[in-house]
């Protein structure tokens, strides 16, 4: 019998039990009093229990009705919570978002964008993973990431949007003879030992650095490959060599290291967000919004003139 009890029966009973008045309860529920009375009688029949004692002037809970009301109230509260939760999930206000990022993103755009997203959607769980660009693409393909902050060009035709472009600078020990110069020429570096990131980490940028050196008539002597960039700066401080790093890395306070720009046109480190287009996955669920869509909107807002960070 209990299996035939419907949620509306419980809501009707709770309204009457809390007001102890069929007229007021019917008004709250938006139904007529005869319909309400009929539904309460049906509930009592289904349960084989008298829940209410009523006369023309008095409505009271029976002892079983009082006990039942406590359980019904908890059930309805949990039901309302569940409904609110699933509605918020459908609005993209709940859930999880896995974000990949490279080191340069951490020192430029990522903190501010994430902070703005968390301010708007505090109940979305963010999982951040530091990965190089190829590893992020693999994770996107495997569905382990929803979005990545990485460096184009990309191997796969992801949906993407550029969020930052910054020139590279030369990091060198502060005791280096070239440190006294306010600006360097690429030819000044022809005899230097280079610390470079592995070619697989950023093949395009790696190639641009090699081309820049080749145009100056030399091939760089690479004595150490390292990543991420803060590690490269640490090796510079140790006197292992010099390194090309992104301009934003100057914000890292590292004793023993100075940064100098080049006179020549310098390779640019580009940062983009990339994500898998999921527009076709929910073609029958147009009312469902994902946390990713909200994140993209936050990025769009951040990209508007005047909203970005000073160093971006």
DSSP string covering 171-227, please? EEETTSGGGGSSEE-GGGGTTSEEEE--TTT-HHHHHHHHHHHHHTT---EEEEE--
**Residue 1: per-residue pLDDT:** 47
Pick the CATH number of 95-162+271-303 from 3.30.365.10, 3.30.2000.10, 3.40.190.10, 3.30.450.20: 3.40.190.10
pTM of the model: 0.71
**Residue 264: per-residue pLDDT:** 92
pLDDT tens digit at each of 312 positions of the chain: 445 888 899 999 999 999 999 989 999 999 999 999 999 999 999 999 999 988 878 899 999 989 999 999 999 899 888 887 787 776 666 789 999 999 889 888 999 999 999 999 999 999 999 998 989 999 999 999 999 999 988 888 889 999 999 999 999 999 999 999 999 999 999 999 999 999 888 888 999 999 999 999 999 999 999 988 889 999 999 999 999 999 988 877 789 999 999 999 989 999 999 998 765 444 445 567 889 999 999 999 999 876 654 443
2-90 matches 166-268 in fold: no
Q: How far apart are the C-alpha atoms of 149 and 101, rounded to whole Å?
A: 4
C-alpha torsion sign, points 290, 294, 299, 301 = positive
Q: What is the Cα gyration radius of the chain?
A: 32
SS3 120: helix
To the question of domain 166-268 being in CATH 3.40.190.10, the answer is yes
**Residue 299: per-residue pLDDT:** 95
Which are the contacts of 66, defined by CB distance < 8 A and separation ≥ 6? none
**Residue 89: per-residue pLDDT:** 73
DSSP state of 156: S
Q: Are 133 and 202 in contact (CB under 8 A)?
A: yes
**Number of Cβ within a 10 Å radius of residue 109:** 24
Tokens standing for 107?
Answer: 């020192």
**Residue 228: per-residue pLDDT:** 86
Strands 124-130, 221-225: pairing kind: unpaired
Domain ranges of the chain: 2-90, 95-162+271-303, 166-268
Cα 264 to its chain centre, rounded Å, is: 38
**Residue 139: per-residue pLDDT:** 95
**Residue 92: per-residue pLDDT:** 67
Q: Are 244 and 212 in contact (CB under 8 A)?
A: no
What does CATH list as the number for 2-90? 1.10.10.10
């Amino acid at each position: 019998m209990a299996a035939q009890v419907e949620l509306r029966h419980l809501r009707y009973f709770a309204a009457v039990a809390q007001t102890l008045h069929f007229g007021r309860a019917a008004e709250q529920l938006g139904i007529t009093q005869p319909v309400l009375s009929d539904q309460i009688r049906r509930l009592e029949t289904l349960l084989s229990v008298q829940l209410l004692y009523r006369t023309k002037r008095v409505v009271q809970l029976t002892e079983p009705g009082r006990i039942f009301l406590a359980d019904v109230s908890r059930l309805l509260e949990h039901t309302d919570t569940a409904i609110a939760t699933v509605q918020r999930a459908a609005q993209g206000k709940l859930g999880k978002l896995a974000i990949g990022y490279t080191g340069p993103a951490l020192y430029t755009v990522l903190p501010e964008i994430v902070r703005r997203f968390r301010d708007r959607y505090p109940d979305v769980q963010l999982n951040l993973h530091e990965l190089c660009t190829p590893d992020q693409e693999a994770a996107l393909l495997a569905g382990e990431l929803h979005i990545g902050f990485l460096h184009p060009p990309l191997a796969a035709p992801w949906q993407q949007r550029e969020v930052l472009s910054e020139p590279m600078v030369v990091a060198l020990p502060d005791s280096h003879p070239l440190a006294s110069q306010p600006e360097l020429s690429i030819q000044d570096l022809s005899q230097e030992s280079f610390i470079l990131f592995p070619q697989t980490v950023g093949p395009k940028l790696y190639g641009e650095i090699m081309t820049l050196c080749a145009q100056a008539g030399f091939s760089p002597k690479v004595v150490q490959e390292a990543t991420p960039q803060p590690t490269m700066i640490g090796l510079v401080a140790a006197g292992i060599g010099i390194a090309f790093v992104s301009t934003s890395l100057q914000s890292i306070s590292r004793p023993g290291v100075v940064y100098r720009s080049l006179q020549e046109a310098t390779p640019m480190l580009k940062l983009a967000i990339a994500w898998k287009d999921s527009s076709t996955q929910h073609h029958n669920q147009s009312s469902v919004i994902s946390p990713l869509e909200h994140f993209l909107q936050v990025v769009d807002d951040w990209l508007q003139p005047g909203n970005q960070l000073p160093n971006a």
